[in-house]
Amino acid sequence: MKTLKFRNSNEEVEVGKLVCVGRNYVKHAEELGNEVPEFPLIFLKPASSLISPEANIIHPEYSTEMHHEVELVLYIGETIKNADDRLAEEAIKGYAVGLDMTLRDVQSNLKKKGHPWTIAKCFDTSAVISEIVEKSEYRLKGDERISLSVNDEEKQNSKLDTMIFSPVNIVKYISTIMTLEKGDLIYTGTPEGVGRVNRGDIISASIENIAEFKINVL
Binding site for Mg ion (CB under 5 A): 69, 100, 190
Query: Nearest distance from residue 187's CB to Mg ion, in Å?
Result: 6
Task: Decide if 147 contacts 156 (C-beta within 8 A).
Answer: yes
Neighbours of 18 (CB within 10 A): 25
Query: Nearest distance from residue 190's CB to Mg ion, in Å?
Result: 5
- Minimum CB distance to Mg ion smaller for 127 or for 168: 127
Query: Nearest distance from residue 20's CB to Mg ion, in Å?
Result: 6
Pairing between β-strand 185-187 and β-strand 70-76 as defined by DSSP bridges = antiparallel
- Minimum CB distance to Mg ion smaller for 69 or for 184: 69
Taking the C-alpha atoms of 153, 5, 189 and 205 in order, what is their torsion angle to the nearest 10 degrees? -10
Q: C-alpha distances in angstroms, 119 versus 44, 78, 109, 123, 154?
A: 11, 30, 11, 6, 28
- Minimum CB distance to Mg ion smaller for 22 or for 77: 22
- CA dist., res. 148 & res. 112, Å (int): 29
- Minimum CB distance to Mg ion smaller for 130 or for 190: 190
- CA dist., res. 28 & res. 25, Å (int): 5
Residue nearest to Mg ion (CB): 100
Query: Nearest distance from residue 30's CB to Mg ion, in Å?
Result: 15
